[in-house]
């Protein structure tokens, strides 16, 4: 499978995310979260990076990171490597902790709405997963959201909140502004829970973890030109989707063999058949393929069925949790 695109320049901002190896849990206790935050702070000091938002879920993390020195690759190599070593030492484990290279989506620096949407997505991850109830988002301990309500003296120096506040229409970092942010996020939480996001917001959330750019066409073209200047070939950029789909197709075929299914069987199964949901969720979590592509391959009809599959894969029912573990081992 093609390696992920990496665009680096001074001041670049990224939405970073990575899951545990085979989607297994990473953060099992508060000590694991504390270790992550300590390593994150050390990375920021060591590499001059700035964190705007972060959130830890049981088996993955999200970061909104800025690199004033344009050194994303070096910073993340040290961070994930150091965290893995310390985590394994703490739990007396060895080997890979993460499922592979982290995803890094570069964020449009000419339109603050993309920055705002990414920050909301990160802070609302527990809400989208149903882990916290409306009105209690700031009670989720494994997130930078509660820190936004504290005065600067009680926040890490490497956590920058003003840019996110400004992007949300909040002018400064005063007590009134921090309370305004809490109210704002509560309203956004309700929109997520009640499924009242606008069509545009829904579309943005559907693609939040896919692709390599959060931004408009002009910004995307600029980043593409930057990659070409770094020595990437035009044909290589155009082929990345094809390579990803080819790799995903191979895994799809393995999954079908696991369930003793043929491609011709798929149209005869219900669109929300648990086997389809499990395969669709696996493909979307591990490969940068489009919702429409997955839907067509698995005969799942409307793309919203694939969206439900992602939640099913992340938190399957008991019997399917065991199937998920078995199928991941089967794939190898």
Are 96 and 25 in the same domain? yes
Are 107 and 135 in the same domain? yes
The answer as to whether 201 is a domain residue is: yes
Boundary residue ending a domain (229, 252, 283)? 229
How many domains does the chain divide into? 2
The answer as to whether 162 is a domain residue is: yes
Are 188 and 219 in the same domain? yes
Q: Report the DSSP beta bridge partners of residue 104.
A: 16
Are 40 and 102 in the same domain? yes
The answer as to whether 4 is a domain residue is: no
Distance between CA atoms of residues 143 and 328, nearest Å: 29
Which residues, 6+ apart, have CB-to-CB distance to 83 below 8 Å?
Answer: 35, 36, 39, 97
Which residues, 6+ apart, have CB-to-CB distance to 231 below 8 Å?
Answer: none
The answer as to whether 161 is a domain residue is: yes
The answer as to whether 5 is a domain residue is: no
The answer as to whether 6 is a domain residue is: no
Are 45 and 145 in the same domain? yes
Residue 220: Cβ-neighbour burial (10 angstroms; 0-12, 13-18, 19+): middle
Are 168 and 275 in the same domain? no
Q: Are 206 and 294 in contact (CB under 8 A)?
A: no
> Which domain covers residue 92, as residue numbers?
12-229
Distance between CA atoms of residues 179 and 254, nearest Å: 51
Boundary residue ending a domain (229, 248, 263)? 229
Q: Are 93 and 52 in contact (CB under 8 A)?
A: no
Tens digits of pLDDT across the chain (332 residues) = 345 557 889 999 999 999 888 778 899 899 999 999 999 999 999 999 999 999 999 999 999 999 999 999 999 999 999 999 999 999 888 888 887 778 899 999 888 889 999 999 999 999 888 888 888 888 999 999 999 999 999 999 999 999 999 999 999 999 999 999 999 999 888 887 777 777 767 667 667 777 778 888 888 888 877 777 766 655 455 545 544 677 788 888 989 999 999 999 999 999 889 899 889 888 877 776 778 888 889 999 877 788 778 778 877 777 788 888 888 878 76
Give me the CATH number covering residue 223.
Answer: 3.30.70.1290
Are 285 and 179 in the same domain? no
Are 285 and 188 in the same domain? no
Distance between CA atoms of residues 185 and 170, nearest Å: 12
Are 270 and 298 in the same domain? yes
Boundary residue ending a domain (198, 229, 260)? 229
Distance between CA atoms of residues 313 and 260, nearest Å: 20
The answer as to whether 223 is a domain residue is: yes
Are 73 and 157 in the same domain? yes
Are 184 and 257 in the same domain? no
Place of tokens 């399957």: 316
The answer as to whether 144 is a domain residue is: yes
Are 220 and 280 in the same domain? no
Instruction: Tell me, letter by letter, the H, E, C secondary structure of the chain.
Output: CCCCCCCCCCCEEEEEEEEEHHHCCCCCCHHHHHHHHHHHHHHHHHHCCEEEEEEEECCEEEEEEEECCCCHHHHHHHHHHHHHHHHHHHHCCCCCCECCCCEEEEECCCCHHHHHHHHHHHHCHHHHCCCCCCCCHHHCCCECCHHHHCCHHHCCCCECCHHHHHHCCCCCCCHHHHHHHHHHHHHHHHHHHCCCCCHHHHHHHHCCCCCCEECCHHHHHHHHHHHHHCCCCHHHHHHHHHHHHHHHHHHHHHHHHHCCCCHHHHHHCCCCCHHHHHHHHHHHHHCCCCHHHHHHHHCCCCHHHHHHHHHHHHCCCHHHHHHHHHHHHHHC
Q: Are 57 and 129 in contact (CB under 8 A)?
A: yes
């Amino acid at each position: 499978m093609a390696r992920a695109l990496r665009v680096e320049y001074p001041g670049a901002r990224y939405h970073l995310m990575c899951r545990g190896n085979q989607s297994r849990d990473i953060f099992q206790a508060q000590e694991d979260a504390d270790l992550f935050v300590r390593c994150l702070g050390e990375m920021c000091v060591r590499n001059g990076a700035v964190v705007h938002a972060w959130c830890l879920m049981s088996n993955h993390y999200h970061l909104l990171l800025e690199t004033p020195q344009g050194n994303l690759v070096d910073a993340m190599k040290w961070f994930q490597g150091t965290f893995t070593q310390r985590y394994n030492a703490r739990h007396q484990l060895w080997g890979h902790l993460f499922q592979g290279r982290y995803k890094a989506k570069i964020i449009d620096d000419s339109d603050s709405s993309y920055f705002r949407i990414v920050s909301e997505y990160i802070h609302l991850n527990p809400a989208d997963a149903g882990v916290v109830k409306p009105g209690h988002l700031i009670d989720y301990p494994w997130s930078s959201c509660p820190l936004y309500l504290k005065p600067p003296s009680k926040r890490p120096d490497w956590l920058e909140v003003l840019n996110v506040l400004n992007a949300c229409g909040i002018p400064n970092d005063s007590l009134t502004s921090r309370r305004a942010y809490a109210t704002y996020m509560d309203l956004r939480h309700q929109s997520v829970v009640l499924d009242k996001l606008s069509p545009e917001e829904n579309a943005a959330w559907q693609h939040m973890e896919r692709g390599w750019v959060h931004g408009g066409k002009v910004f995307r073209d600029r980043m593409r030109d930057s990659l070409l200047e770094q020595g990437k070939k035009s044909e290589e950029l155009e082929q990345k989707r094809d390579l990803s789909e080819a790799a995903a197709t191979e895994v799809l075929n393995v999954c079908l063999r696991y369930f003793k299914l043929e491609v011709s069987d798929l149209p005869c199964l219900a669109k929300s058949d648990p086997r389809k949901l499990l395969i669709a969720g696996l493909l979307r979590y591990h490969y940068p393929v489009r919702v429409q592509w997955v839907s067509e391959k698995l005969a799942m009809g409307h793309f919203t069925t694939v969206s439900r599959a992602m939640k099913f894969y992340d938190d399957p029912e008991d019997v399917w949790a065991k199937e998920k573990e078995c199928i991941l081992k089967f794939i190898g």
